Structure 1
Amino acid sequence: MTNCVLCKDELKPEEGQLIWRGDDCRVILVNDPDLPGFCRVIWNRHVAEMSDLTHGERDHLMTLVFAVEEAIRHVMHPDKVNVAALGNMVPHIHWHVIPRFTDDAFFPGSAWSNRTQETKEAVLEARRKKAQELTAAIKASIASLA
């Protein structure tokens, strides 16, 4: 699919940064000012549905999703982690792994809900600083799978 934003290999800085890339998947740290630590695990080939993958590919992808979740929990210490694969806007397999806090802008709704509150800038800044540790933590978590 030529116009799929997730098929493109290049990221604009405002979109986020590539943390890790394997033959089948990649992990992106999303540049979301309200939700520091928000990551995406993206299947590299254009595939719309999980059931289009082989059982082995599904297992591999979910193992990576869980490795990212564990790293996020270890580094960010969120109140909850949301793991979601929607694909309604972008029909390309990708999983959102989002650290959630009771004081984040959308809590208790989803990350795509309307704002319910404002998080103090000092709190967000501290979380952004913590999120910088995710690159090393996620790489280490994935390396430990081998």
Structure 2
Amino acid sequence: MIDDVIQTVPDIQKREALARYLCAKPRGYISTAVTTDIKTTTTWTKDDDELLRKAYTLHGRQWEKIASMIPGKENHNCRYRWDNALGASMKKKTQWTSDEDILLRQHHDEYGRSWIIISVDIPGRTPDMCRRRMTVLLKRDHVAAETKRKQTSE
């Protein structure tokens, strides 16, 4: 599928193609602009999360089968919830390492605020985790620069 994206827009970089692929709507997705009777965003309860965990154990990444086991959820809802909240590979509550911070800064310098592209190279970190961490790092940089500026002006 990434090759299809690259062929459609030949001048884009491979990373941009990957980002487009990751952002692509899942097969069978219907936009709410076309129909309003399909709910594309849902609230997840603890019971829903537990059902998702059990269904994932049974079916792996077969999202259509998983969605059929969870009332009111579609395959793209299940995939998004698993990949961004429940997946075992997510480092939900772990501290960022200095190596991750360095990698995040390098990628931010190179790709700007393309959080999906950045998160691909930082295992276990979602695009939102990367965005929030970069905000913290930039605030630290700003405070340090202000402190240094005040010290040199005195």
- TM-score, structure 2 as length reference: 0.25
Is the helix fraction higher in 1 or 2? 2
Give the number of the structure whose residues are more often strand, by fraction. Answer: 1
Who wins on radius of gyration, i.e. which is larger? 2
